[in-house]
Chains A and B, each alone.
Chain A
């Protein structure tokens, strides 16, 4: 694993994640979030997760972000209308976020440093992941399809103007 590539990707990920939170305009937040997802895709490439790379691009950077952008444009949020929290609450939010980060980092301090495991040819490809998915995780996979049906029906019902009509 290339350390320079990891550093660049990590800086990109964290920087764009910070800009998601701190940009004033929600449309810019969505664009930075897309940037963040692309750099996370880069992390998947470095971790030899080829299948996840493609799925992340299609599902997150493609489908979910388009949904977000559509909703923001539907609600006409492209201008600065959002009321902001008072300064003390913002400071408290930043403070507690940093505190959580320190606690997490401190609790992960003693984690053993192990070299990456030796992996086979098929690791992380659609073939390798598909074999695990359709043997060990077949039942959860089928249940996921039921979840999707529920989500589709639910969002259609919620999206209708008047349910009683």
Chain B
């Protein structure tokens, strides 16, 4: 227990590594757990954010601002991805009238 409290006295890169590992795994779990495609999409956003936190942490601990520029670009790509992805989801919903991912099995034979 003393070791645990000592390890939390100075927050290092390791804590951020574990935090983003946990966040990323929750995102993966969400993709596997749910059948609603919008919630699956949100879990993908969670995974992207886990990587963003890690990049910001590395940039802080190495004193290099390039990491923050990478986070900025990831946000740009995520915004574009959400715009196109939600448009596709709305179109799918118009065709199959449900948000169930199991209804999309045309490629399965």
Contact = CB atoms under 8 A, between A and B. Distances in A.
Interface in A61-115: 63-64, 67-68, 71-72, 74-75, 77, 81-85, 90, 92-94, 96-98, 100-101, 104-105, 108, 111, 113-115
A101 B22 CA distance: 6
B24 to A, nearest CB: 7
B79 to A, nearest CB: 6
Contacts of A36: 46, 49
B88 A64 contact: no
Interface string A15-31: 00110111000100110
Contact of B60 (A116, A133, A154): A116
A108 B28 contact: no
A48 B60 contact: yes
B68 A30 contact: no
Given A75-B93, A82-B100, A155-B87, A60 B75 contact: yes
A152 B76 CA distance: 13
Contacts of B69: 129, 132-133, 136-137
A48 B1 CA distance: 30
A104 B56 contact: no
Interface of A: 1-3, 6-7, 10, 13-14, 17-18, 20-22, 26, 29-30, 33, 36-37, 40, 43-44, 47-49, 51-52, 55-56, 59-60, 63-64, 67-68, 71-72, 74-75, 77, 81-85, 90, 92-94, 96-98, 100-101, 104-105, 108, 111, 113-119, 123-124, 128-129, 132-133, 136-137, 140, 144, 147-148, 150-152, 154-155, 158-159
A131 to B, nearest CB: 8
B45 A64 contact: yes
B109 interface: no
B83 A155 contact: yes
Task: Report whether over half of chain A's contact residues are helix, strand or loop; otherwise say mixed.
Answer: helix
A129 B71 CA distance: 11
A151 B87 CA distance: 10
Contact of B79 (A63, A71, A83, A90): A63
Nearest to A136: B66
Contacts of A92: 32
Contact of A14 (B23, B30, B90): B23
A82 B82 CA distance: 22
B33 A90 contact: yes
Cβ-closest 3 pairs across A and B: A97-B29, A117-B63, A93-B32
